[in-house]
Amino acid sequence: MGPAGIAAGGKEVLDAFQKSLSEAGIPAEVKEHCSSHQVGCLGLCARDVLVEVHMNGEKATYQYVKPDMAGRIVREHIIGGAAVQEWLTDSDYEQFYSKQFKIVLSDCGKFDPEDIDAYIAAGGYEPTREVLTTWLPDDVTDEIKASGIRGRGGAGFPTGLKWELARRSKSDQKYIICNADEGDPGAFMDRAVIEGNPHSVIEGMLIAAFAIGSHKGYVYIRAEYPLAVKRLRIALKQAYDRRFLGEDIFNTNFRFDIQIKLGAGAFVCGEETALIASIEGQRGMPRPKPPFPVYSGLWQKPTVINNVETLANIPYIIRKGAGWYASFGTERSKGTKVFALTGKIKNTGLIEVPMGISLREIIYDIGGGIEGGRPLKAVQTGGPSGGCIPSKLLDLDVDYESLARAGSIVGSGGMIVLDDSNCMVNMAKYFVQFTQSESCGKCVPCRVGTKRLLEILERITRGEGKEDDLDLLEKLSNGIKATSLCGLGQTAPNPVLSTLKYFREEYVAHIKEKKCPAKVCKELLEYFIIEELCKGCGACLKACPSKAITGEKKKPHTINPDLCIRCGACFEACKFRSVGRE
């Protein structure tokens, strides 16, 4: 019952199973929030709706489940004891998980996220009890530093060091903020964690608060995540009811309160100082640094801001030890990372892998390869702030340092796979268009610079580019990176610089030849009828909105280039592939 499952019909499937169980007279307790009836995202969104049946110590997983399949599964599997083989997941499903190692996602999909008892049964809140009753705050910061975990929100700053700096800051009030303002296109890591296991985030905030001496926390989450907000509210109420939040937690003198702050969807509020301004009731705009939030943050008080994934790691690190966590990953990039694997890939979904795994392993071993068997062209990591990594670097290790050297970033965890049907100039334009529209406008380099970048890219994709545009793009990008106030502007040119570096020939083709090699930029396309293939069926004629196509029935048609608006409707409508484009 994650968003992908719900969108694919999860609620209807759930209702169908409840009805089938009832009609079959099978003793089953059915209530609104029952741990046997709803869980969060299982990861492989491409196969939703997924249904697991646990019987006699064995688990069977069904994929692409529709409501009308519930009855047969109940009759044959639950009553008869024989799984419906043709609906079960295949070897590709098992391969999807084979190279993953789950820490943050280890409990997502295993129990009802709206049932605190299920979380407690899995060991939840025990790390908090141990820390509050037997540890000193310095012990906590030392443990987190020893684990080597770095912030999973994008910058990769060492988490333990951030906590230590805040711990040393002298103040009568300190704050913990969970940054759940996930705004990257194609990213859904933080949303899935909160929807699948919200208590892990609450527990991470509790431990962080104890470490730095804070008694007040905020979860800054975008209002566009209604299911995540709902489950977080339920989890907070349950935590207060059990006295895991509030006064005298675990009969100690420690107190901690958490408040939800809904964001309005401004991408720039993912930047920590803009986020702080938004919580304070001001317009979400970044502030110059220093001072850094650990010294002067929310209402000028020391503030630690960690993203959802960072905080969700903390209970597991405390439970199993810093050495255990540090055993995964690379020397400078410890632990695991959650990625939203999307794009032209067979197995789209949510994955968690050890840092240092190669792009090749993610795309082909976990992702199952490129959809339709087309050639891999690039992988875009880090969202709008990241870069496009070409297929020739497929064996690149996925960690902070390696991706930075390649001209990209880990970011919050977006990973978009591109094939040969993607135009890299158009991709750069898309991401610059996004960051330009999301710029708060406070500093000139970002406000004006990204606008100029976008204008140049739009001109190139229209076939109006000039040869000196490439040098201008590079110079302008470097200037924006060097002089912008916050991370949004400093990273906005990354898609441009990386595509210029690895796919310069595509820019040249757009400018010199007035052609889009990927046949994406419609102003550079010409549509024509291949006479020997045309059956004269009239499908293209009916689909053309500009009446550019003429011809008699059962005779080859023609396209008038003067009337053609290059919408591609004829190309999509033709079943005989007789419409060509170049």
CA angle, 466 then 468 then 470, to 5°: 95
Q: Which one, of 457, 464, 494, 454, lies nearest residue 477 by Cα?
A: 494
Predicted local confidence at residue 37, as pLDDT: 54
At the topology level, CATH places domain 424-513 in: de novo design (two linked rop proteins) (1.20.1440)
> Which residues, listed in sequence order, are joined to residue 206 by a DSSP beta bridge?
none
| Equal fold, 116-326 vs 336-419 | no
Q: Which one, of 56, 111, 58, 112, lies nearest residue 88 by Cα?
A: 58
Predicted local confidence at residue 441, as pLDDT: 92
What DSSP element (H or E) covers 449? helix 444-461
SS3 385: helix
Predicted local confidence at residue 398, as pLDDT: 94
Predicted local confidence at residue 231, as pLDDT: 94
CATH, domain range 116-326: 3.40.50.11540
Which residues of the chain register pLDDT less than 70?
28-38
Strands (E), 344-413: 349-354, 376-381, 387-390
Give domain 3-94's CATH number out of 3.30.1330.40, 3.40.30.10, 3.90.550.10, 3.40.190.10. Answer: 3.40.30.10
Strands (E), 63-215: 175-180
Residue pair 115/33 in contact (Cβ under 8 Å)? The answer is: yes
Predicted local confidence at residue 413, as pLDDT: 86
Predicted local confidence at residue 32, as pLDDT: 38
Residue 398: HSE in the Cβ half-sphere, 13 Å Cα cutoff: 29
Domain boundaries, the chain: 3-94, 116-326, 336-419, 424-513, 525-581
Burial category of 211 from C-beta neighbours within 10 Å (exposed 0-12, middle 13-18, buried 19 and up): buried
Q: Which two tokens stand for residue 568?
A: 């591609």
Alpha-carbon distance values, 83 to 42, 70, 88, 93, 385 (Å): 20, 12, 8, 17, 46
CATH, domain range 336-419: 3.10.20.600
> Which residues, listed in sequence order, are joined to residue 51 by a DSSP beta bridge?
62
For 364, which DSSP code? I
Q: Which two tokens stand for residue 91?
A: 């070897």
Strands (E), 1-125: 51-55, 58-62
Strands (E), 489-578: 527-529, 549-550, 558-559
Supply the pTM of this predicted model.
0.89
Burial category of 491 from C-beta neighbours within 10 Å (exposed 0-12, middle 13-18, buried 19 and up): buried
Predicted local confidence at residue 54, as pLDDT: 86
- Would you state the CATH architecture of domain 525-581? 2-Layer Sandwich (3.30)
> Which string of b and e fits 138-168 if b means at least 16 CB within 10 Å?
eebbbbbbbbbbbbbbbbbebbbebbbbbbe
Predicted local confidence at residue 28, as pLDDT: 60
> Which string of b and e fits 300-318 if b means at least 16 CB within 10 Å?
ebbbbbbbbbbbbbbbbbb
